[in-house]
Structure formats: C-alpha cells, structure tokens
Amino acid sequence: MHSRERLMADIWGYDHIGDGRTVDVHIARLRRKLGTAHRHRIVTVRRVGYKYVPEQPESSHTSLCHRP
C-alpha cells in the first residue's frame, strides 16, 4: 500500500507544493492509459492512498475447470 504523501515524496520530492489531489489526478490518468483491461490493478484505499494488485496466474485446477 502506498500513501498519497509517500507517493508525492518519492515522485515529486519533499519540497513539492501540492496536496493529495495531485496524486489522485495522476492516478486517474494512469488508469485511463492502462485501459479497461488493467485499470482495476490500481485500487484506491480510502483515506490512505493506493495499492497495486498484480495479475494472479491461473492455477492448473482453474484452467481445467474452465475448458470448453
């Protein structure tokens, strides 16, 4: 999980003048660029920040159950 404050410090530096909305706007743009197939990988954690949810590899059991 990544807090808005931590993202601002790591990306723009500690002396950046801005607030958490700056991060929110950039996350929205990033999600748009990722498209519908991958935008769900960046999850909003209310009042905290964001977390990345990587793609889960399909297990052999699941793939066997879904074969036509």
DSSP for 36-51, please give it: TTTGGGEEEETTTEEE
- The pLDDT assigned to 67 comes to 47
CA distances from 5 to 1, 8, 40, 55, 68 (A): 12, 5, 22, 26, 48
Q: Look up the pTM and report it.
A: 0.69
CA distances from 8 to 13, 38, 57, 67 (A): 6, 23, 31, 45
User: 3-60, pLDDT tens digit by residue?
Assistant: 888 888 888 887 777 776 888 999 999 999 999 999 999 999 998 999 999 987 665 5
| Separation CA 2–CA 64 (nearest Å) | 36
